[in-house]
Amino acid sequence: MKNPPATGQSISRIEGPLKVTGAAKYSGEYNVPGLLYGYVVNSTITKGKIIKIYTEEIKALPGVIDVFSHENRPSTAWFDMKYADMDAPPGSPFRPLHDAEIRYNGQPIALIVAETFELARYAASIISVDYEKEIFDTDLRSHFGDGREPETGMASLLKPPPPEPTGYFETAYAAAKYKASGEFYHGTEHHNPMELFTTTTLYEGKGKLSIYDKTQGTVNCQLYVANVFGLRFKDVKVISPFVGGAFGSGLRPQYQLFLSVMAALELKRHVRVTLDRSQMFTFGHRPPTLQRTRFAADADGMVTALNHTAFAETSRFEDYTEVVVNWSPKLYPAAHTLLDYKLVPLDVFSPMDMRAPGGSTGMHAIESTLDELAYQLKMDPLDLRLKNYTMIDITVNLPYSSKELKECYLKGAEKFGWANRAPEPRSMKRGHKLVGYGMATGIWDAMQAPARAEAAMTRDGKLHVKSAVTDIGTGTFTVMTQIAADELGLPVADVIFSYGDSKLPFAPIQGGSMTTSTVGTAIRAAGKALRKKLLRVAKRMKDSPLGKAELEEVIFQNGYIILKDNPQAAVSFADIINDGHHGLPLKTTNTGVPNMAKLNKYSRAAHSAVFVEVEVDEELGVINVTRALTAVAAGKIINPKTSRSQILGSMVWGISKALREETILDNQLGKYMNQNLGEYHIPVHADIHDLDVMFIEENDEHINELGIKGLGEIGLVGVAPAITNAIFHATGKRLNQLPVHFDMLL
């Protein structure tokens, strides 16, 4: 009667019925009597000063409650530190309505609060503002070569600067017979989750707030609000059980949170502030980045020299950085390496993490250059990668904790039919269309942070587990329920997981593919502590059949503690609570921390191999990704069903990155020109064809007790270069600018 472990099973999302019936409530969907609506007014200039905001005629409109700007906003915290959130880069965080200075186009400059949404929006559309304009610069491409070193800070812990040079790159490169190089550019991208950023702040009296916010970190927003507005932590509750996508955009508190809370506190009313779609382009984005690569190999295909330089955009007020150039020697251990990463501060808002930040940028350049090197060597691109395969990360001189990338290459290639690829470009056709096969590698750090979790057994024999973590669509709710179920040997139906609320035990922001390892480890710690407590109480019960059994001598299964040696000797969890604990829940709260002493002996990463087929119609300039396969090695897969969706979603993101999405900046105006979903192109259903996902078994005994590496980013990293490599194979054209536009083929 032993039930199989819940982890490893393809369980449908537990919240599925709520999402398909419309019952799942997102942050803008908590309607209360007397709710006021805030609408943001944004700067129409890029740099300069506000001279005057004409608020009087707006305030005179019947139904307008107030207009907030830098002139009349309440005073908030004085020091930068108070505005820093868990994802803040070094610098001075942006403060909404702080002063008259305009730092970027679209900066929020006022909030209109009215009795109806329509009135607030209308008032925002007619408000007049006088500005004094200043000269600005938003053009990254005019700065190739003149970036500066980034400031370092707390963020550098997770985003290390490039490793020091090794060997003699210039000499080695000059002497090498086989070389490939490239210059790469990708434009700005905006996260554009389907849900608009919204905060509904309920004013609960006496300075207490209940805040429904769209975020990837309930505790992060709680700390931010308490610090900025000088409130007590326990008076600020941030609730976010359903998040309509985020992809990094919710890692930092966005300005609608500040504005909603400010208005609620000032007016002592409930206030909702919702950004419109164009305003979704007025905070963080993936920074446009220029890159240059020069790789060399010997005649056998061993990579000998690697040079990778990047120039990335940041704002004037924060040094947002990404890990763009560190990856190539981790995969291809060359003796001579020269890696450099520079920032170019411009008059834009600070960039921010967007799915696979840095990795998807850098690996595009690396994997494209490696592909070119394979053609120079007249070697199969897959063989070149196998030739340079390493189990040691030379950048830190440590072995990988596990690395089944070779199996990804081999099994992926076999299933995809890579062997059917004719080596020459332009050699494969289907009808009048050119066909190309391309492949690329993906790599992403496997990270873990500390977190806490509560586990409680109640008199009905159910396990209640709690964490402040969010579920941004990643399947966290379901996966955590599965992990908790296995801790007590219960079926999933007997586990109730509570999440998405800052009053629950601490969880860090949900990002970087580290949520499952982070919160899962905390749940495991709480589960272990609860097992001990249950056994201790069970042994104290009158005539306990468990006698003096130690933890190792019993099993927890199907709601019972059972003696291993005598399965007849068993006590149910319900009886333990009812008879041994007066019916009161048995609770424990524990911390899960990464075992750094162990982890520091290894380099830790998830890997993928991506294989893509494209069809190119040269006459029409149409590129279609007809099929793609991603083979992933990311440790233990807790739920293959939701995990597959994570990877499929990333593959769609890769297609989008390669062929569709870009925010176009007009450098004359300093303004993004396509701030809507009609002109910011993402793939539609008709663009997506045959996508396949393989999970390669990977047992990692070092990474964490659960053997988990995380999946949020790894699926994206290798997709765009696999597509551009396939386009090269189809057409003979090496297109290094993303997204690839049709006209580049003509």
Partner 1 sequence: MNSELDLKPAAVFTSKTRQITLNINGISRGLEVLPYVTLLDALREYLDLTGTKKGCDHGQCGACTVICDDKRILSCLSLAVAKDGAEITTIEGVSTGNDLHPLQQAFIDHDAFQCGYCTPGQICSAIGMLSEGKAKTRADVKELMSGNLCRCGANMSIIDAIMEVKDGGGHE
Among residues 9, 44, 92, 427, the one that binds partner 1 under rule CB under 8 A: 44
Cβ nearer to partner 1, comparing 121 with 464: 121
Q: Which two tokens stand for residue 503?
A: 């009053």
Secondary structure tally for the chain: helices H, strands E: 17, 31
Cβ nearer to partner 1, comparing 18 with 335: 18
Reported in sequence order, the residue ranges of 551-696 that DSSP labels E, i.e. its strands, are: 554-557, 560-563, 570-572, 586-592, 605-617, 622-633, 665-666, 671-672, 690-695
Chain residues 578-617 in contact with partner 1, contact rule CB under 8 A: none
Determine if 279 is a binding residue for partner 1 (CB under 8 A): yes
Among residues 6, 13, 213, 384, the one that binds partner 1 under rule CB under 8 A: 13
301 and 109 in contact (C-beta within 8 Å)?
no
| Sign of torsion over alpha carbons 610, 615, 616, 620 | negative
Reported in sequence order, the residue ranges of 286-326 that DSSP labels E, i.e. its strands, are: 289-297, 303-314
Determine if 733 is a binding residue for partner 1 (CB under 8 A): no
Between helices 255-267 and 218-229, what is the axis angle to 10°? 50
What is the total count of residues that contact partner 1 (CB under 8 A)? 80
Among residues 256, 289, 510, 642, the one that binds partner 1 under rule CB under 8 A: 642
Cβ nearer to partner 1, comparing 248 with 461: 248
- Per-residue CA distances from 98 to 136, 197, 198, 228, 623 (Å): 20, 21, 21, 12, 47
Residues in the chain: 746
Determine if 34 is a binding residue for partner 1 (CB under 8 A): no
- Per-residue CA distances from 218 to 93, 434, 449 (Å): 19, 49, 16
Among the listed ranges 273-281, 385-393, 461-469, 592-600, the one in contact with partner 1 (CB under 8 A) is 273-281
Cα separation of 7 and 550, whole Å?
Answer: 25
Q: Strand 108-114 vs strand 36-42: parallel, antiparallel, or unpaired?
A: antiparallel
Q: Which two tokens stand for residue 745?
A: 């083929």
Residue with tokens 């070697």: 379
The closest alpha carbon to 531, from 509, 548, 555, 510, belongs to 555
Site string for partner 1, 329-368 (x = CB under 8 A): ----------------------------------------
Q: How far is the CB of 638 from partner 1 (least distance, A)?
A: 14
Q: CB neighbours of 700 closer than 8 A, spacing ≥ 6?
A: 401, 402, 635, 636, 707, 709
Q: Which two tokens stand for residue 192?
A: 């554009």
Cα separation of 25 and 241, whole Å?
Answer: 8
Q: Hey, how many other C-beta atoms are within 10 angstroms of the C-beta on 425? A: 17
Cα separation of 527 and 463, whole Å?
Answer: 10
Q: Which amino acid appears at position 245 of this protein?
A: G
Q: How far is the CB of 615 from partner 1 (least distance, A)?
A: 14
Quote the distance between the C-alpha of residue 170 and its chain's center.
36
Q: How far is the CB of 685 from partner 1 (least distance, A)?
A: 4
Residue with tokens 């004094």: 132
Determine if 216 is a binding residue for partner 1 (CB under 8 A): no
Determine if 415 is a binding residue for partner 1 (CB under 8 A): no
Among residues 100, 669, 682, 744, the one that binds partner 1 under rule CB under 8 A: 682
Q: Which two tokens stand for residue 632?
A: 């992933």
Cβ nearer to partner 1, comparing 15 with 139: 15
Cα separation of 589 and 522, whole Å?
Answer: 9
Chain residues 85-144 in contact with partner 1, contact rule CB under 8 A: 106, 116-119, 122-127, 129
Chain residues 54-83 in contact with partner 1, contact rule CB under 8 A: 57-58, 60-63
Chain residues 167-206 in contact with partner 1, contact rule CB under 8 A: 192-196
Site string for partner 1, 449-468 (x = CB under 8 A): --------------------
Q: Hey, how many other C-beta atoms are within 10 angstroms of the C-beta on 648? A: 17
Cβ nearer to partner 1, comparing 576 with 632: 632
Q: How far is the CB of 658 from partner 1 (least distance, A)?
A: 13
Cβ nearer to partner 1, comparing 107 with 326: 107
Among the listed ranges 148-156, 223-231, 238-246, 581-589, the one in contact with partner 1 (CB under 8 A) is 238-246
Determine if 475 is a binding residue for partner 1 (CB under 8 A): yes
Q: Cα 65–71–74 angle (5° rounding)?
A: 70
Among residues 135, 157, 299, 686, the one that binds partner 1 under rule CB under 8 A: 686
Among the listed ranges 37-45, 227-235, 703-711, 730-738, the one in contact with partner 1 (CB under 8 A) is 37-45
Q: How far is the CB of 30 from partner 1 (least distance, A)?
A: 9
The closest alpha carbon to 404, from 13, 696, 36, 682, belongs to 696
Determine if 231 is a binding residue for partner 1 (CB under 8 A): no
Determine if 622 is a binding residue for partner 1 (CB under 8 A): no
Chain residues 506-565 in contact with partner 1, contact rule CB under 8 A: none
Among residues 221, 472, 514, 577, the one that binds partner 1 under rule CB under 8 A: 472
Cβ nearer to partner 1, comparing 193 with 635: 193
The closest alpha carbon to 710, from 603, 600, 632, belongs to 632
Cβ nearer to partner 1, comparing 37 with 173: 37
Bond preceding residue 739 cis, omega within 30 of 0: yes
Determine if 650 is a binding residue for partner 1 (CB under 8 A): yes
Among the listed ranges 11-19, 65-73, 233-241, 596-604, the one in contact with partner 1 (CB under 8 A) is 11-19
The closest alpha carbon to 347, from 591, 162, 143, belongs to 143
Cβ nearer to partner 1, comparing 192 with 513: 192
Q: How far is the CB of 500 from partner 1 (least distance, A)?
A: 13
Q: Which two tokens stand for residue 558?
A: 């199907």
Among the listed ranges 89-97, 431-439, 595-603, 647-655, the one in contact with partner 1 (CB under 8 A) is 647-655
Determine if 15 is a binding residue for partner 1 (CB under 8 A): yes
Cβ nearer to partner 1, comparing 16 with 567: 16
Cβ nearer to partner 1, comparing 2 with 685: 685
Determine if 497 is a binding residue for partner 1 (CB under 8 A): no
Cβ nearer to partner 1, comparing 129 with 228: 129
